[in-house]
Structure 1
Amino acid sequence: MSKKQQYTPGEFYWSFLLPKYWGIWIAIVFLMLLAILPWSIQHRLATWLGNLAFNKLKSRRKTTIRNLEVCFPEWTTEQVQENSRQVFIDMMIGVFETLNAWYSPKWFKNRVTIEGLEHITNAQAEGKGVLLLGTHSTLLDAGGYICAQYFDPDVVYRPQNNPLLDMLIYRCRATIYANQIDHDDMRGLIRHLKEGHAIWYSPDQDFGLKQGIMAPFFGTPAATVTAHRRLLKISKAVAVPLYFYRHGDINDPRYHILIEPAVEPMPSEDELDDATRVNKIIENQLRIAPTQYMWFHRRFKTRPEGYDKIY
């Protein structure tokens, strides 16, 4: 198959058996074995790997520390360092939680609670689609799995560069999400919203100002995407904040899904006001479990003329 040829998401190709893909197949078998380990061992491995990543990934560590310094100025230097390290540990814990969701989902039985499900069901009962405003949580697809125990979520995803890895992840996610929508497939996204689907959408990263506007995030101006305003306007869907997080004893964790009332009015006539409101929603969510967020992304990357550089 030529490099220019397109791969169909989730479809197996015989070329995936070529030697260049053997490393991925071996890694997948290894990950499946990790998924059947007791949680006590998974947690210890995740902690070790998280500390290793914090020490070795210097650029990501620096970005995480700087993000936390900007967003939590009330924290001491020691608290910033401690929580930055915990971000990496939570990221690795999230990898194991995702493996459990894909290969050993029974592990989550009797561990999940939900609050505010009526905000989704009421909107859908009125024939409206629901755009779930979420975040890039370290829980990864484990968050999608626990949500799927209560309603049928669709997800917006970015395809992997490696076609075999993309196929494997797509198939694993197919056991969780009702539909997977390519981030470039705006027509498909709008169609699913018009059909009354609930779609998990995360407007919390910096994609520059071609797709957004500068709006305060934890009190600091940040490039904030505004595409959801157009999606909501065209589809007549409602925007409903969604957040899920781990809590309780790490040796016997529990998971909570928080669904808040629809944001009204959204979209309004003021683009900046809408972006500010969405950022504030995300802020409030992240304060619940600050280290369960991917702070190693450069949230304040875009700095137009007149704005101080963050990194």
Structure 2
Amino acid sequence: MDRPHFTPALLHPRYWFTWLAIGLWVLVAHLPYGWQLSLGRQLGRFMQKFAKRRRVIAERNLALCFPEKSDEERAQLLHANFDSMGIALMETGMAWFRSTAWIQKLFTLEGAEHLEGREQGVVLLAMHFTTLEIGAGYLNSRFAIDGMYRAHKNPVYDYVQRKGREKHSRSTRVYPREDVRGMMRALKGGRTVWYAPDQDYGIKQGVFAPLFGIQAATVTGTSRFARAGKAAVVPYCVERLPQGRGYCLRVYPQLEDIPSGDEYLDACSVNRFVEARLRELPEQYMWVHRRFKTRPEGEADVYGLPKRKRKRRRSREREKAVVSSKK
């Protein structure tokens, strides 16, 4: 996939507010690091108060995954989790708009030997922690990491997002999400490809495997990519350190039991690893995702939320028409 290019169509008046918001975001991203953490916490508290649907989802996830904790302990965990999500917005700005040298100063790297010197491809197993963007930015500055990509409906935001995600490495390659063959070729060619299998993408391309003792729809892509791409599965995790001390990115040893030849067993292995990391850093995970949305036949929905009306696609189609007509 070609690198993002600016076009005059992105200056259409309908995108002026987006550019203004991004300009403010750039300014905030250049504030002192400690100030940004403080602003992020305030934003997280605002989100906790007003993003009611997301709060309900996070509360339910925490109740399902940590039944051993008291109501008060889970309430404290929820509060810390929303603080973390607010900080994540600040960290996204840091990752996209600050220099590579500035980002690198914030990080300690452990386990680099698990990625260095490999001749075979690597499925870099990631998880949706709130440190995802800043961790990926740092990782890209140290290693050649490829990724799969889904375009954003707002072309200005899409342009800025891609520029930000690819700025720390000129060797990064991006594949459209549907380009599975491209990812396979990259792995067979010895590339390292970022892949996060820890969300609920339905059961069409997955199996039910236990996570916190609950049957969770788990994609089987990890084992399929490892098998077809003849690649190693190497996980990593990013911890936001306390008291503004930056981050620790840990690369773990290869998961030797994947691929086993049994996609269910591989999914169980992935979920065991994910669960272990979530138990270590529960406040830094994105609990606002409906991880247990897909249920086995006969099981009731665990969230009890009213169904959202499907958004009409007309606005998206109009935006695409404007951009294509101006190219």
TM-score (norm 2): 0.87
Question: What residue identity is the alignment partner of 1:280?
Answer: R
Matched with 2:317 is none
**Which secondary structure does the structure 2 equivalent of 1:121 belong to?**
coil
> How far apart are residue 101 of structure 1 and its match?
2.1
Match of 2:136 among 140, 144, 147: 144
Q: What is the aligned partner in structure 2 of residue 88 from structure 1?
A: 82
d(CA) in 2 for partners of 1:301, 1:91: 21
1:1-311 equivalent positions in 2, closer than 5 A: 10-105=4-99, 106-122=101-117, 124=118, 127-177=119-169, 178-249=172-243, 252-311=244-303
Once the two structures are TM-superposed, the CA of residue 9 in structure 1 deviates from its matched residue by 6.1
**Matching residue's letter, 1:114:** L
User: Contact 1:222–1:300 (CA<8 Å) still a contact in 2?
Assistant: yes
Cα-to-partner distance string for 1:186-234 (whole Å, 9 max, x where unaligned): 1111111112111111000111110100000111110000022221111
Q: Shift of residue 173 of structure 1?
A: 1.1
| Helix, strand or coil at the partner of 1:291 | helix
| Letter in structure 1 aligned against 2:293 | K
Q: What is the SS of the residue equivalent to 2:185?
A: helix
Q: Distance in 2 between matches of 1:107 and 1:83?
A: 30
1:174 is displaced (CA, Å) by: 1.3
Residues 242 and 259 of structure 1 are in contact (CA less than 8 Å); yes or no, is this contact kept in structure 2? yes
> 3-state SS of the aligned residue for 2:283?
coil
Check conservation: 2:95, 2:165, Cα contact below 8 A.
Answer: no
Query: Matched residues in 1 for 2:205 and 2:30: separation?
Result: 42
Indicate the larger mover: 232-241 or 59-68: 232-241
> 1:245, CA displacement in angstroms?
1.4
Deviations 1:165-202 (A, max 9, x none): 11111111111351222221111111111121111110
Give yes or no for contact 1:135–1:243 (8 Å, CA) kept in 2.
Answer: yes
Q: Is the 8 A contact 1:137 1:292 kept in 2?
A: yes
Rounded to whole Å, the distance in 2 between the matches of 1:111 and 1:143 is: 10
Q: Per-residue CA shift, 1:78-135, capped at 9, x if unaligned?
A: 121121122221112112122122222344343322222111124x2xx200001110
Structure 2 unaligned regions, length at least 5:
304-327
Superposed displacement of residue 283, structure 1: 0.9
Q: Distance in 1 between matches of 2:269 and 2:22?
A: 41
CA contact (8 A) 1:97 1:139 kept: yes
What is the alpha-carbon distance in structure 1 between the residues aligned to residue 102 and residue 120 of structure 2? 33
Higher mean C-alpha deviation, range 201-210 or range 82-91: 82-91
Q: What is the number of equivalent residue pairs in this alignment? A: 300
Amino acid at match of 2:109: I
AA aligned opposite 1:62: V
Contact preservation (8 Å) 1:208, 1:223: yes
Retained in 2: the 8 A contact 1:144–1:176? no
CA distance in 1: counterparts of 2:51 and 2:289, whole angstroms: 13
Answer yes or no: is the 8 Å Cα contact 1:9–1:166 preserved in 2. no
- Taking the aligned partners of 1:182 and 1:68, their CA distance within structure 2 comes to 33
For residue 150 of structure 1, report the CA deviation from its aligned partner: 2.9
Asked if the contact 1:133/1:203 (under 8 Å) is kept, the reply is yes
Distance 1:103 1:16 in 2: 19
| SS of 1:88 mapped into structure 2 | helix
SS of equivalent to 2:208: strand
The one-letter amino acid of 2:155's match is: P
Letter in 1 for 2:44: G
Going from structure 1 to structure 2, the CA distance change for 1:64 and 1:107 (only over 3 Å counts) comes to: same
